Homo-oligomer: A and B are copies of this chain.
Amino acid sequence: MKYQKILIAGEWRDSTDPVGSFHGLDPAKKQWLDAEFPISGSAEVFAMIEAGKIAAKEMRSVSPEKIAAFLEQYAFNIEAKETQLTDVAHNETALPVEPRLKSIELPRTINQMRQAALAVRERSWCLATLDTKSNIHAKYGALGSPVVVFGPNNFPFAFNSMAGSDFVSAIAAGNPVIAKANPGHPETTKIFAEAAFEALKSSGLPLSSIQLFYHTPPEVGLQLVSHPGIGATAFTGSKSAGLKLKEAADRAGKPIYLEMSSVNPVVLMPGALRDHSEQIATEFYQSCSMGAGQFCTNPGILILQDNEDGKEFVQNIINLYRINPPGILLSASGPSSLSHSVGVLKKAGAEVLIGGKEADREGYSFENTLLSVSGDVFIEHSEKLQSEMFGTATLLVLIKNPEQMVEVVESFSGNLTASIYSDRKGEDEELYQKIEPVLRIKVGRLLNDKMPTSVSVVSSMNHGGPFPATGHPGFTAVGIPGSFLRFAGLQCYDNVRANRLPPELQDKNPTGAMWRLIDGHWSVGNVN
């Protein structure tokens, strides 16, 4: 067959109505890769919805234990394909095999799959609430329709539409998934799908509960997220694509969870710079250059005072940006997109301190870039100056006094994260207390003395934030139960006979370990 097969309705099949085709690209060599993938048209995508609807119905009678076992088997299959996955992902993304792909991202992907399996088995995530006096009970439950997942280009494993947090969360909550591969790593996604489908066959889950296509024209994407037959969509990617999908989904009344853009401001308070300038510079450079700067939580704006300490710090990071080679970007559009963003910032009054143009090295690359702007100019053109630069490119905002730091922060729109570095003696405390309340409501995750690029997979994690970082300030893409609850509806049972209640709401605790809110008390016990 000419094209790679898609996974549809329980089998690997040739695309029946490809509207085109594409190849993966090796960004390090600027060479197309061999395999050719179909671009699916609407008939094929709609056929997936129909198969997904049937699978959703069947999944209602699949026990959580089976879903957990599927996730565990899938994690095991991924481990067995470690070398294949990291090699292929490296070819498709130029991300280094070590440490990034093999020692960081793949273990994290497997870890979050296993965490999800445990949570599915324990069942606490569904927030079962029992009011025994009124005989009313509620829990979160599967949407009853397939969930569509669009994965981003920058995490071929941990946010892969076939293996990442959105995929795992949707399945964990009991929904089938229709995954659209990111065209930046189609082969990686195909290998995941093969591992998943192998696990699926012996799991007792419907064979159509995971489906995969590789690409589709934008208008079909809009039809998909607004289709009556789907339950919800998760999208991680660019703001422009995200906003278009959001509009289509919103109009149809379909939930859509978006992670779109974030400049992740880092605030360096005067005392922090005085005491730890060099250490912060190193941390900052490491955070900015991780994955060639292509992280959702990459620190894109750094705020510091334009005094002696500030000048010294800026000189330090200019040096770090100069002596370290730039990384290879994920795609051919990387350098031009960065050039464009740098242009937008320059036009709005920012000055290039170093870098600012495509790098003269093999592969798609862009010079490590620093721009700077005064606090006055930032406040005046804050919208433009908050344009995301997807790479190792940071805007320094040099403020004239601590009061202006507050003003600058007030002009921020919604972000995933914000970090505040302050001294240890309490000299920055007054300023912290002024800035924290302003930042707190603008970001999902607030950090102290730490760069934002590490996202721990724990219950308290919020990998989300107010619009336009995402579409809603109350949801997270990482962290159980929050990430699962996005793909569930609140299901209340009023006066429903005991034998007809789902096991999670019956008197006996179904696992002996499931936390339930019984008459206002959280408990792992039975109803007395």
Instruction: Please list the residues of chain A having a beta carbon within 8 angstroms of any beta carbon in chain B.
Output: 57, 60, 129-131, 134, 136-138, 140-145, 246-247, 250-251, 253-255, 414, 417, 432, 436-437, 440-442, 444-450, 452, 456, 458-462, 464, 466-468, 471-476, 479, 482, 485-486, 488-497, 500, 515, 517, 520-523
Contact = CB atoms under 8 A, between A and B. Distances in A.
Contact of A255 (B447, B473, B493, B495): B473
Contacts of A414: 253
B475 A444 contact: no
Nearest to A251: B247
For the complex formed by this chain, how many copies does it contain in all?
A: 2
13 contacts: A134-B456, A136-B458, A247-B251, A253-B471, A255-B472, A417-B494, A446-B494, A446-B496, A447-B496, A460-B492, A474-B488, A474-B490, A522-B522
B136 A460 contact: yes
B482 A441 contact: no
B462 A138 contact: yes
Contacts of A493: 445-446
A456 B495 CA distance: 11
A456 B459 CA distance: 31
A433 to B, nearest CB: 8
B461 A138 contact: yes
A401 to B, nearest CB: 21
Top 9 closest pairs, chain A to chain B, by CB:
A144-B441, A253-B467, A522-B522, A473-B489, A462-B492, A250-B250, A138-B460, A445-B492, A129-B460
B140 A57 contact: no
Nearest to A450: B495
Contact of A515 (B246, B442, B456, B522): B522
A57 B437 contact: yes
Contacts of A491: 440, 444, 446, 462
Nearest to A486: B474
A100 to B, nearest CB: 21
Contacts of A520: 459
A489 B522 contact: no
